[in-house]
Amino acid sequence: MKESVGTTGLILNEPLLWERGKKGRSGFSLPRRDVESCPLDGALTGEGPDFPDLSEIDVVRHYTRLSQWNFGVDSGMYPLGSCTMKYSPKTNENQASLPGFAGAHPLLPAALSQGILQMMFELEQYLAEITGMDATALQPAAGAHGELAGMLLIYAFHKSKGERRSKIIIPDTAHGTNPASATLCGYLPVPVKSNDRGILSIEAVSEVMDEDTAGIFVTNPNTLGLYEEDIRRIGEVVHDKGGLVYCDGANMNAVMGIVKMGEIGVDVIHLNLHKTFSTPHGGGGPGSGPVCVKKQLEPFLPVPRIVEENGSYALSNDYPESIGKLQAFHGNVGVMIKAYSYIRSMGPKNLKKASQLAVLNANYIKEGLKGTLHLAYDRPCMHECVFSDKHQMAQKIATIDMAKRLMDYGFHPPTVYFPLVVHGAIMVEPTETECKEDLDQFIEAFKTIAKEAGEDPGLLHDAPRRCKVTRLDETTAARKPCLAG
């Protein structure tokens, strides 16, 4: 490898602010007092909070140094598979920070919230158009919350028909939250294995679909980065037995502007606005997981719903079959504003192009590394590709060793050991925002690591070496976590 992105650099140790502070330091000067001093009430003159005394430079350097310990999508490529950690244009952050949005109180009456309500109403229409569905609800706070909403909608639909179905079909290539969301709604997950091409077969679904099954919970594209080619016919099998098709839309970044889920048999789909539609995410949030549905499920959407009449917008609870309220107030509005801004600034043509480039980049990495790493399914992928450590096992080098060593070369590791369908999985999603030069550097880094595995395995077993913290004892950390503040 000609030149590595990774370097030891000047990564400085940094103590706690209380250790750095010294009595008498101050980071600001109070203006001259223009009123007489007045002693506080005796009840208020107790010991004050334990704040450290710091100068301005103490504070600035402290937080600057801490920021240099972090790695984010603004620092470099973030190839976590199944997460779509793409770079998000900063202009969308600006729109979400506009005073009219950021300063609006959620308890304001509708008459004083017309701008926000209009934005949300139009976003619902855009998401319905992009997915090919008939209606949208924005309340769910994240992807798994959207899954829960979708399961509740399916339950409500069957209940309205006087049915109490107890099972949901879930493929082995589904996202890990799918069976949990189904179980929370009282459904028994029925696992189905993918075939030797990494996708669902019509026959496998037909074998388990019956009148007691509420539907199928399919991730498309699936967690192997492959498009479920038989989804339309699988949907027919499910519909023939009275079931519904739920699509986990977390991987929409591969197909937005290209595939309309409502036209291929999907009845309900959730979207991760914080993945596909321009909100930086990670560290627990924020997120937004709207659900889009076909007409038959619209009556059950959560309330309040945004309604428009003669150019005026209001919130309505007049939906007697609704599953009820899922979140306080309007949902995570800040995330919605960024998604709205992203869709408006991109337009249909560029939303489609983003998907095309995401697929192109993933296939470029797949072709670049398939001779170096074992490729579980050697066929065109969508937005992500899945390798394994099979070629390196002879040198006793595992996926975790290569992922740790990648950090020394300046790259955040991809997703490892998921999906479980592939033993020792290495799941790479480059997203559409990475240029060819960065992809080439990532490929070259992995090739160099594979070469090291054969020549000097110790380099990988001890990795990372150049990071702020070297390899941790993850087993002990999991079994005996330190929960001290």
How many Cβ atoms are within 10 Å of 246's Cβ, its own excluded?
A: 31
Angle among Cα 176, 177, 183 to the nearest 5 degrees reads 115
pLDDT means per 10 residues in the chain (485 residues)? 75 89 88 83 66 93 90 89 90 93 92 96 98 97 94 97 96 92 94 96 97 96 96 98 96 96 97 89 77 98 95 95 92 94 97 97 98 95 97 96 95 95 97 95 97 95 90 88 73
User: Would you state the pLDDT for residue 481?
Assistant: 86
**Tens digits of per-residue pLDDT, 254-282?**
999 999 999 999 999 999 998 999 887 76
Domain ranges of the chain: 90-345, 349-477
Pick the CATH number of 349-477 from 2.60.120.10, 3.30.300.30, 3.10.20.600, 3.90.1150.10: 3.90.1150.10
Distance CA 48, CA 40 (A): 13
Distance CA 345, CA 236 (A): 37
Q: How far is CA 155 from CA 90, 132, 186, in A?
A: 40, 22, 9
User: Would you state the pLDDT for residue 286?
Assistant: 81
- CA 110 to chain CA mean position, Å: 31
**pTM check: above 0.85:** yes
User: Would you state the pLDDT for residue 445?
Assistant: 96
Asked if residue 337 lies in contact with residue 124, where contact means CB atoms within 8 angstroms, the answer is: no
Task: Kindly report the CATH number that applies to the domain delimited by 90-345.
Answer: 3.40.640.10
Amino acid occupying residue 189: P
User: Would you state the pLDDT for residue 28?
Assistant: 84
- Regarding beta strands 213-219 and 244-249, do their DSSP bridges make them parallel or antiparallel, or are they unpaired? parallel
User: Would you state the pLDDT for residue 36?
Assistant: 87
